[in-house]
Amino acid sequence: MPHPLGLIPLCVLAVNAIAYSALLPLNDIADAHGAGHFAHAFWQTLLGGALLAAIAAGRRERARLDWPFLRVYLVVGAAAFCVPLSLITYVSGHLPTGATSLAFALVPTTTYLFSVVVRIERLSLIGLAGLALGFVGLLIVIAPRLVGIGDPATLPWLLMTLILPVSIGIANVGAVVLRPPEAPPFSVAAGFLLGGALTTLPVVLATGQMGLPVGPGIWWTTLLAGLANAIAILIFAEAVKRYGPTFYAQVNYMVVIAAIGWGWLVFGEVASVFVWAALAFMAAGIVIAGKRPGIED
């Protein structure tokens, strides 16, 4: 596996963070116009997957539907989309907003530990130190929103959010371990999104949200969210393969900063000066974690 340090890998993470974090304001706008959480997730993953499948067909990438391919599509689709979305929707009303951000902050750690377990990487103090710096940076941003997290009534809900970093960690590592070596990029990325749509469909039907995204404030957010998902998942599919799941997982730190940027651009929200301190910690963490052993040059 190539060494991840360098301008190109860092830019890859940044572009992925910008694309993925664009989903947050788009989902907020869709939600304000009455789109159901699960229906919006279903349609945007379906549209993003269909777009990538069309590009794959144009590139004459062969669509593979035998079991090794279906398995990675369903595992990554369920672990990266269905489970996190269902969990966030279920617990969000019982926790401060910062609590779910805290759960996302644990994704690099769970991904690293899973990578060590399956022997993709070796346990190293340098790697742990880099992840810790990124975690501290994220805490600087979300700490003001964690008021009320010490309430004993929130403890069961807080513990439930730990499913989220475990699930996304499984998706990150599964995309490397379960992916057949001959899987082409656009085809496998389409499979991830379509797998996410397929595994989310039962939840959509069970919650009665199976409606077409045709409202005036919904249709265009769904289309843009589908495009953002297509870009983000394509980068994900190639980045975890080239740079390893642990290095890629640190995009979760950058997503928080990118989301603040989108909040300023779309809603006029002014970011605190602490954001720059947080960004410095995250950048240092990514650089240090990139020096960990167990990666071939």
- The pLDDT of residue 227: 95
The residue extents of the domains of the chain are: 7-289
DSSP string, 170-229: HHHHHHHHTS-TT--HHHHHHHHHHHHHHHHHHHHHHTT------STTTHHHHHHHHHHH
Tokens standing for 288? Answer: 């240090």
In angstroms, rounded to a whole number, what is the distance separating the alpha carbons of residues 198 and 211? Answer: 16
pLDDT, position 295? 42
Residue 140 is which amino acid? Answer: I
Q: pLDDT of 73-94, one tens digit each?
A: 999 999 999 998 888 878 766 7
The predicted structure's pLDDT at residue 278: 66
Q: Write down the pLDDT at residue 283.
A: 65
Instruction: Give the 3-state secondary structure of residue 259.
Output: helix
Q: What is the pLDDT of residue 11?
A: 84
pLDDT at 129: 77
Which residue positions in the chain have pLDDT lower than 50? Answer: 1-3, 294-297
What is the number of residues in the chain? 297
Model pLDDT for residues 186-210, shown as the tens digit of each residue: 999 999 999 999 999 999 999 888 8
CA distance 287 to 231: 24
Q: What is the pTM of this model?
A: 0.82
Q: Please report which helix (H) or strand (E) contains residue 109, including its range.
A: helix 107-117
pLDDT (0 to 100) of residue 255? 75
